[in-house]
A and B are shown apart, each in its own frame.
Chain A
Amino acid sequence: MKYLLLALTIFVLQKSHAQTSTTDRHCDSIMRKIIDSTVKAKVDSIEAKKKKADKKEDKNVLDWLSNSGFSIRKGFSPSSKDDANPASAFWYKNFITNFSYTTVDVGAKYKGYEFGKRKSSFLIFPKMEWHKNEDTTSKSKNTCNTLTGGINIEYYYSVTPRFTPFIAGIADYKDDYIKKLETIDLSAYVSIFCIPSFLPGSLRVRDPKSDGLIFRYYPYTGIEYYRSTGASAQSTSFWASRLSVELNPLPKYLQFVFDYTYRVKISDNLYKQGDVFWLLVGVNHYFDAKHRLGIGLDYNEGSDPNNSFVRTNKIDLCFKLKV
């Protein structure tokens, strides 16, 4: 009787355990389904949000322009550092005196086309630029309003991995609305990029603590040719030499810029200026280590190549924002 009772108890316990296991398995299965469906819903929700965000990005005109290969800068002349500067536009009007002032420096380019071999690359890209500096008195010699359209070319050839000479050139059609002068501008400059320290273009002279670039420079030399359109076409050509230097004594925050171009007259029936120079001396103070936000003071003197070589002497104080 005692053994029968024990056997019965064991049987009941086993049955109960079996039932519990079945119930547990059932619960596990349900829980797993719930968790799976919750995770799936969460993943779907994240993907939907991501798609929505992507769609939002597509709607942003600046993103669309950037993704399509367009760049907008101050300018794209190979004889200046304008392509490193953002575009700017400023308008001021006094409604009492009716005095108004407009300044615009905008250039847009398409990423263009590239033909590359193992050791060389040839790039060609179309661009447009608008430079305007005008007020209602229009008595200033520095007044300008020019629209330029054309192509830039760049050719790089790697002699060895450490030395890469290059040619930078333009072929532009320029319309000067102030002087009623339309010109075809052609230019080509030769220079070199080198890896070893203290040679042209080298990025290796750095502050050991911050890794910031201390010093970089490029020499350029080349030919410029300007020809007016119309029946009585006149032309001017220069042999131009340029030195562009960047010095960062406090690499994170302070930068000095020196850019000097001397143009030797080869022939000059158009501008009738003889030999001319163009000097830029600038100092920039940056508020962040990545040089995205700063304030700069630029001093220009000489014959302005963007304004039909008009004699210019000016100083600009400007904010620099690079995003």
Chain B
Amino acid sequence: MPAKDDVQSHVLNFINAFTNINVDDLTSKFLDTKLTDAPFEFDNPSTAALTLTLRGYIQNTSPSQTILVTEVRSDGLTLQGLIDLVFSKFK
């Protein structure tokens, strides 16, 4: 099972790849920001694409686990919430 810091680092790198917001800013300013709020502004297609990316990452380590689009779209999910959600898939 990967460490929480390792999971956080991967998730932040994925968010950086999607949004072009650098990892330092993500960590210092936007951990409590909802994925659908500015500056992220994830919409339905981008949350689905992000979920498929995260699913690939999770299943590389835990093939029996998955993450659903409906979980990532759940109301009020913040960046920290997403990190916690991905980490919970490895337990």
Query: Do A161 and B56 touch across chains, with their CB atoms under 8 A apart?
Result: yes
The distance in angstroms between the C-alpha atoms of A71 and B21, with both chains bound, is 29
For B74, list chain A residues within 8 Å (CB). 111
Interface band, chain B: 35 or more
- B: residues with CB less than 8 A from A are 17-21, 25, 29-30, 33-34, 37-46, 48-49, 51-53, 55-56, 59, 66, 68-70, 73-76
The distance in angstroms between the C-alpha atoms of A123 and B44, with both chains bound, is 11
Query: Do A206 and B21 touch across chains, with their CB atoms under 8 A apart?
Result: yes
Query: Do B52 and A156 touch across chains, with their CB atoms under 8 A apart?
Result: yes
- From A121, A204, A292, give the contact of B37 (CB < 8 A): A292
The interface stretch among A26-34, A191-199, A269-277, A295-303 is A191-199
Query: Do A84 and B43 touch across chains, with their CB atoms under 8 A apart?
Result: yes
Closest chain B CB from A77 CB (angstroms): 12
Q: What would 21 A/B residue contacts be, using CB atoms closer than 8 Å? A: A111-B70, A118-B55, A123-B69, A123-B70, A164-B49, A164-B52, A166-B45, A191-B45, A193-B45, A204-B18, A204-B19, A206-B39, A211-B19, A211-B25, A211-B30, A211-B39, A212-B38, A218-B45, A252-B38, A289-B39, A290-B38
Question: Residues 79-98 of chain A: 1 if any B CB is under 8 Å from the residue's CB, otherwise 0?
Answer: 00001100000000000000
For B37, list chain A residues within 8 Å (CB). 290-292
| Most interface-central of A71, A118, A289 (chain B CB within 10 A) | A118
Number of A positions contacting B (CB below 8 A): 41
The distance in angstroms between the C-alpha atoms of A204 and B46, with both chains bound, is 12
The distance in angstroms between the C-alpha atoms of A191 and B51, with both chains bound, is 18
- From B40, B42, B53, give the contact of A161 (CB < 8 A): B53
The distance in angstroms between the C-alpha atoms of A119 and B48, with both chains bound, is 11
The distance in angstroms between the C-alpha atoms of A166 and B69, with both chains bound, is 13
The distance in angstroms between the C-alpha atoms of A216 and B3, with both chains bound, is 35
Name the CB-closest residue of A to B49.
A164
User: Cβ of A267 < 8 Å from any Cβ of B?
Assistant: no
The distance in angstroms between the C-alpha atoms of A123 and B68, with both chains bound, is 10
Closest chain B CB from A177 CB (angstroms): 30
Name the CB-closest residue of B to A210.
B39
The distance in angstroms between the C-alpha atoms of A116 and B20, with both chains bound, is 27
For A166, list chain B residues within 8 Å (CB). 45, 48
Closest chain B CB from A206 CB (angstroms): 5
The distance in angstroms between the C-alpha atoms of A291 and B76, with both chains bound, is 14
For A123, list chain B residues within 8 Å (CB). 48, 69-70
The distance in angstroms between the C-alpha atoms of A251 and B49, with both chains bound, is 23
The distance in angstroms between the C-alpha atoms of A123 and B45, with both chains bound, is 12
For A205, list chain B residues within 8 Å (CB). 20
- A: residues with CB less than 8 A from B are 66, 69, 71, 83-84, 111-112, 114, 116, 118-121, 123, 154, 156, 158, 161, 164, 166, 191, 193, 195, 197, 201, 203-206, 210-213, 216, 218, 251-252, 289-292
Name the CB-closest residue of B to A201.
B45
For B21, list chain A residues within 8 Å (CB). 206, 211
For A201, list chain B residues within 8 Å (CB). 43, 45-46, 49
With contacts A83-B44, A114-B69, A191-B45 known, is A197 near B20, CB below 8 A? yes
Query: Do A154 and B48 touch across chains, with their CB atoms under 8 A apart?
Result: yes
Query: Do A203 and B18 touch across chains, with their CB atoms under 8 A apart?
Result: yes
The distance in angstroms between the C-alpha atoms of A84 and B37, with both chains bound, is 11
| 7 closest residue pairs by CB, A with B | A204-B20, A193-B45, A164-B49, A158-B52, A156-B48, A211-B39, A290-B37
For A120, list chain B residues within 8 Å (CB). 52
With contacts A206-B19, A211-B21, A290-B33 known, is A121 near B51, CB below 8 A? yes
For B17, list chain A residues within 8 Å (CB). 195
- From A69, A191, A251, give the contact of B38 (CB < 8 A): A251
Query: Do B52 and A203 touch across chains, with their CB atoms under 8 A apart?
Result: no
Closest chain B CB from A149 CB (angstroms): 21
Query: Do B48 and A121 touch across chains, with their CB atoms under 8 A apart?
Result: yes
